[in-house]
Structure 1
Amino acid sequence: MLAYRLLTAEDTSAFCHKVTRALSKGWVLYGDPSYAFDAANGVMRCAQAVTKETPGDYDPDVKLGDL
């Protein structure tokens, strides 16, 4: 199964750590990162899609962060 996640967070080093942690667990970058202004909160937000090949079939109850 190919699992997909969209990692998002405020534009701080915490976002970079979130992506780095996913990469260290075998996730692979998918596409370009996105960067947008969150007017409601007055901050910039980042997003990065990642994918990971995992054994087994899709289960909607699986916690993707645990893969």
Structure 2
Amino acid sequence: MRAYRLLTDEDTAAFCHKVTEALARGWELYGSPAYAHDPATGRMRCAQAVVKDVPGLYAPDLKLGEL
């Protein structure tokens, strides 16, 4: 099965660490990152999709962050 996650956070080092941790756990970048202004907070937000091939079948209760 191919798992998909969309990592998001404010434009800080924490976002970069979140993506780096996913890469270290075997996730691969999927597509280009996105960068947008959040008018509710007045801050910039980042998003990056990642994918990972894992054994087994999809289940709605799958904890993607634990793969």
**Structure 2 length-normalised TM:** 0.99
- The gaps in structure 2 that reach 5 residues or longer are none
Instruction: State the number of aligned residues.
Output: 67
Q: Secondary structure at the match of 1:33?
A: strand
- Match of residue 36 from structure 1: 36
**Within-5 A mapping of 1:1-67:** 1-67=1-67
What root-mean-square deviation, in Å, do the aligned CA atoms of Structure 1 and Structure 2 show? 0.3
Q: Tell me, in whole angstroms, the C-alpha distance in 2 between the residues paired with 1:7 and 1:61.
A: 18
- The gaps in structure 1 that reach 5 residues or longer are none
**Structure 1 length-normalised TM:** 0.99
